């Protein structure tokens, strides 16, 4: 008698047993959800999330059902940074006869939605997936491009900037100018990317024997109003502060508007710096010191790579394309 050893992974049978349905019903809920009643489908999805089940679809099966779609997975398509990348990506893909689908991965079941699209390629736009999902994508042999921050363990092709270097560059610039009490202000963004910023923040300030704990985070999306509120909170909590680092030009410019309203003179009373070198940074008053991030170029290169690899049908490509960032010193520091 052959004994089947457990792999430790949650199986379709485990989901079916927990949900009290047959395995065919679970499979149908994943592959053709429109054929399953909404109450039952929701029940199965809850069990899938609870058990952490990831559908096991082989590369052969995926190839046979591939729709030719290119699916862009992101947590936000409204941020200026992501919009710049996406627009440049989309322009490069116009020569392909492919449908481009945006999947907002704000819930727990986005992988099942991705599978339902039967993608020919996946673009992770400033988005980090869990190790389980990353392994599934690798095993599926679907072409995958990660655009945005540099990844420690890229799934496929990583077109990126070094987020840690961006923060280190800003801090080194401020420290060299004599600023000592420096605060970090940020709003809602991809957690894994924020952690990269935070790691560099702590490392750089501690190496210079400075306080790394002046950090304010807003749960609101990045916007001018969020930046204004963050400045108000920073002044209330910290009182005197030498410099403020915002992880977005929009936040920084919102803070500049609020500073003007409060008659706080920038940079005489404090320095304010941003991240991105967006158009708004060139027209703010004073003009914003920031880090130039080549968002459009990230999207353009990602699009060209997709066109090239989809036409040649190449898969399992491992490559890191890192673009340089640069400090743009203007009037706020």
Q: What is the pLDDT of residues 214-270, one digit of tens each?
A: 999 999 999 999 999 999 999 999 988 999 999 999 999 999 999 999 999 999 999
Helix (H, G, I), strand (E, B) or coil at 244: strand
Q: Supply the mean pLDDT for the chain.
A: 88
* pLDDT over 90, % of the chain: 59
Two domains, one topology: 1-53 and 163-292 = no
The pLDDT tens digits of the residues spanning 91-138 come to 999 888 888 999 998 776 788 788 778 888 999 999 988 888 888 888
CA 250, 148, 30, 108: dihedral to nearest 10 degrees? -50
The pLDDT tens digits of the residues spanning 158-168 come to 999 999 999 99
In our burial notation (b when 16+ CB lie closer than 10 A, e otherwise), range 4-28 reads eeeeeebebebbbebbebeeebbeb
Residue 51 pLDDT class (50, 70, 90 cuts): confident
Q: Which residues contact 125 (CB under 8 A, 6 or more apart)?
A: 72, 73, 74, 82, 85, 86, 147, 148
Helix (H, G, I), strand (E, B) or coil at 72: strand
Instruction: Please give the structure tokens belonging to residue 52.
Output: 């952490």
Q: What is the DSSP letter of 35?
A: G
pLDDT at 58: 47
What does CATH list as the number for 1-53?
A: 1.10.260.40
Residue 4 pLDDT class (50, 70, 90 cuts): very low
Instruction: Please give the structure tokens belonging to residue 309.
Output: 């690899």
Q: Which residues contact 274 (CB under 8 A, 6 or more apart)?
A: 246, 248, 249, 251, 252, 253, 281, 288, 289, 290, 291
Residue 64 pLDDT class (50, 70, 90 cuts): very low
Does residue 291 surpass a pLDDT of 80? yes
Instruction: Please give the structure tokens belonging to residue 243.
Output: 């410099």
Class of domain 56-161+298-322: alpha beta
Question: Which residue's entry shows tokens 């000592």?
Answer: 180
The C-alpha atoms of residue 282 and residue 276 are separated, in whole angstroms, by 11
* φ, ψ (nearest 5 deg) of residue 21: -135, 175
The pLDDT tens digits of the residues spanning 162-199 come to 999 999 999 999 999 999 999 999 998 777 788 899 99
Instruction: Please give the structure tokens belonging to residue 332.
Output: 């706020």
Residue 62 pLDDT class (50, 70, 90 cuts): very low
Lowest mean pLDDT among 35-49, 143-157, 165-179: 35-49
What mean pLDDT is predicted for residues 12-27? 86
Domain ranges for the chain: 1-53, 56-161+298-322, 163-292
What mean pLDDT is predicted for residues 281-288? 96
- Do 47 and 78 contact (CB within 8 A), yes or no? no
What mean pLDDT is predicted for residues 11-28? 85
Residue 6 pLDDT class (50, 70, 90 cuts): very low
The pLDDT tens digits of the residues spanning 318-333 come to 899 999 999 999 999 9
Is 163-292 a domain of CATH 3.40.50.2300? yes
pLDDT at 193: 83
The C-alpha atoms of residue 222 and residue 248 are separated, in whole angstroms, by 8
Does residue 286 surpass a pLDDT of 50? yes
Of 280, 284, 250, 251, nearest to 267 by C-alpha is 284
Q: Where are the beta strands (DSSP E) in the chain?
A: 70-74, 100-104, 121-125, 143-149, 157-161, 182-188, 215-221, 243-246, 271-273, 290-292, 319-322, 326-328
The C-alpha atoms of residue 154 and residue 144 are separated, in whole angstroms, by 9
Q: Where are the beta strands (DSSP E) in 23-178?
A: 70-74, 100-104, 121-125, 143-149, 157-161
Of 186, 172, 201, 173, nearest to 333 by C-alpha is 173
């Amino acid at each position: 008698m052959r004994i089947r050893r457990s792999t430790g992974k949650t199986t379709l049978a485990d989901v079916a047993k927990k949900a009290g349905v047959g395995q065919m019903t679970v499979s149908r809920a994943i592959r053709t959800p429109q054929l399953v009643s909404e109450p039952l489908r929701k029940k199965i999805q809850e069990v899938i999330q609870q058990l952490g089940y990831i559908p096991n679809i082989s590369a052969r099966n995926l190839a046979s059902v591939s729709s030719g779609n290119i699916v862009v997975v992101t947590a936000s398509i409204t941020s200026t940074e992501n919009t710049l990348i996406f627009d440049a990506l989309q322009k490069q893909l116009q020569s392909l006869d492919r449908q481009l689908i945006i999947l907002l991965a704000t819930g727990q079941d986005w992988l099942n939605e991705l599978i339902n699209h039967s993608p020919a390629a996946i673009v992770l736009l400033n988005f980090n997936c869990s190790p389980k999902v990353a392994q599934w994508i690798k095993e599926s042999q679907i072409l995958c491009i990660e655009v945005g921050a540099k990844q420690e363990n890229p799934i496929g092709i990583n077109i990126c900037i070094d987020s840690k270097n961006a923060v280190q560059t800003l801090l080194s610039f401020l420290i060299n100018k004599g600023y000592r009490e420096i605060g970090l202000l940020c709003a809602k963004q991809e957690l894994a990317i924020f952690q990269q910023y935070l790691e560099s923040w702590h490392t750089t300030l501690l190496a210079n024997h400075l306080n790394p704990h002046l950090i304010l985070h807003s749960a609101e999306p990045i916007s001018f109003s969020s930046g204004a509120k963050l400045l108000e909170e920073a002044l209330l909590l910290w009182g005197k502060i030498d410099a403020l680092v915002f992880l977005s030009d929009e936040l920084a410019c919102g803070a500049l508007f609020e500073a003007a309203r409060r008659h706080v003179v920038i940079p005489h009373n404090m320095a304010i710096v941003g991240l991105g070198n967006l158009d708004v940074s060139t027209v703010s008053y004073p003009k914003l010191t920031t880090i130039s991030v080549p968002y459009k170029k990230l999207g353009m290169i990602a699009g060209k790579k997709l066109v090239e690899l989809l036409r040649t049908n190449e898969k399992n490509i491992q490559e890191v394309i890192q673009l340089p960032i640069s400090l743009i010193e203007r009037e706020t520091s």
